[in-house]
Structure 1
Amino acid sequence: MIYRQLNNINEFKLLKDIDRSEIVNEKYILKNNKIILVKDYYNITSWIDEEVNEYINRMNDIYNSKGLIIGVFDNEKIVGIGALDKNLCGKNKNMYKLDLLYIHHDYRSLGIGNKIIEIFKEETKKDNINALYISATPFKNTIDFYLNLGAIVTKELDSNLFDLEPEDIHLELNIK
């Protein structure tokens, strides 16, 4: 696998080539500052054009504000993408935001997501920032991934991010 920084909008458009399909049977909800697993069903298939365009624009904004976009390639095929937004967030504006992380369906559980997070943690340490803010889709696999990395329900809820994604589970990952 080749991990490298993506540097332009044409590379950001590769996002649509990642197969994000997934069957979801459970998700988490936040209740009394605790996450609770509940039954729910989603059949995630192909990308919606508006959603892809929104993500491409967000990656472009992140890149233009000195953030970091990482693409993962198996030969010429993109199999993962992640974006680190360096605009400070969290209640105390002391965290970077893991803005997006997608791994191709056929490449999950191979450590690609872990490696992207490690790259982001190193970048964050260089800037003397101690945590990543994660506003994550509440699906069981997604939240379990972050919890297994050591993320916790954030104590510094960013109200702007919460207003954008109130059903997300808002986490923080200490990087020290």
Structure 2
Amino acid sequence: MIRIEELGEAGLDRMGEIDRSEEVTYQYLFREGALHRERIDAQVPTWTPETIEKNRHMLLPILRKGGHCLGALAGDRLAGMAVLGGEWLGEEQDQLQMAFLYVSREYRRQGVARKLMDEICRLAREKQANQLYISATETDSALGFYFAYGCRLAPEVDKRLYALEPLDIHLVKDLK
């Protein structure tokens, strides 16, 4: 049984417990106003100390600005992690960033990502957000999940987030 818990800043120290590895058959590119699917056949490795530190460096300020780090736990094992930003985005300043979502390989396709997203959405609604803003990895599995969850392409891309991850696909999730 999976339970979702607030992990706080200390949760970032557990990121390496997540096996993010996967085989990627397709990726998406956004150009000329549309998504284009491209076959790539690539291997995504699990975290390295460098990628953990890079993500920790990116996520810590987000948490310190009112964000939340959630863990999906199976007993004591970390099955997944999600981070909700606390900084307002968008023209109307009514969006919060879903800054991070990973589920460990052995727990995928078991509803773990959905449980994490449900709690992220609940927290964002509690803060009166109208939308989540998601800068998603361009893989078929990530986008397949987000679109099935009800996300759609962002009508306006956040320039700061785009500059950080120019290959990401920018999405929004309506919360109201």
Q: Identify the TM-score tier after normalising by the shorter chain.
A: over 0.9
Match of 1:94 in 2: 94
Query: Which ranges of structure 2 fall in alignment gaps of 5 or more residues?
Result: none
Match of 2:60 in 1: 60
8 Å Cα contact 1:91/1:159 also seen in 2: no
Moved more, 126-135 or 37-46: 37-46
Query: Which ranges of structure 1 fall in alignment gaps of 5 or more residues?
Result: none
AA aligned opposite 2:138: P
8 Å Cα contact 1:33/1:153 also seen in 2: no
Match of 2:112 in 1: 112
Q: Are 1:135 and 2:148 counterparts?
A: no
**Once the 2 structures are TM-superposed, how far is the Cα of residue 60 of structure 1 from its aligned partner?**
2.4
Determine the C-alpha separation between the residues in 1 that align with 2:8 and 2:154: 31
8 Å Cα contact 2:9/2:69 also seen in 1: no
Residue correspondence of structure 1 range 46-85 to structure 2 within 5 A: 46-85=46-85
AA aligned opposite 1:35: L
The number of residues matched between the two structures is: 175
- 4+ runs deviating over 4 angstroms: none
Q: Are 1:2 and 2:3 counterparts?
A: yes
What percentage of aligned pairs have identical amino acids? 25
Determine the C-alpha separation between the residues in 2 that align with 1:25 and 1:91: 35
**Once the 2 structures are TM-superposed, how far is the Cα of residue 41 of structure 1 from its aligned partner?**
2.5
Determine the C-alpha separation between the residues in 2 that align with 1:18 and 1:57: 17
Match of 2:161 in 1: 161
Please provide the CA RMSD for this pair.
Answer: 1.3
8 Å Cα contact 1:82/1:99 also seen in 2: yes
Match of 2:42 in 1: 42
TM-score, length-scaled by structure 2: 0.94
8 Å Cα contact 1:92/1:156 also seen in 2: no
SS of the residue 2:20 aligns to = coil
Structure 1 pair 47/174, CA: closer, same or farther in 2 (3 Å)? Answer: same
Match of 1:126 in 2: 126
AA aligned opposite 2:72: V
**Once the 2 structures are TM-superposed, how far is the Cα of residue 164 of structure 1 from its aligned partner?**
1.0
Determine the C-alpha separation between the residues in 1 that align with 2:93 and 2:9: 27
**CA offset digits 1:62-88 (Å, max 9, x no partner):** 222111110111111111000000111
Match of 1:175 in 2: 175
SS of the residue 1:109 aligns to = coil
TM-score, length-scaled by structure 1: 0.94
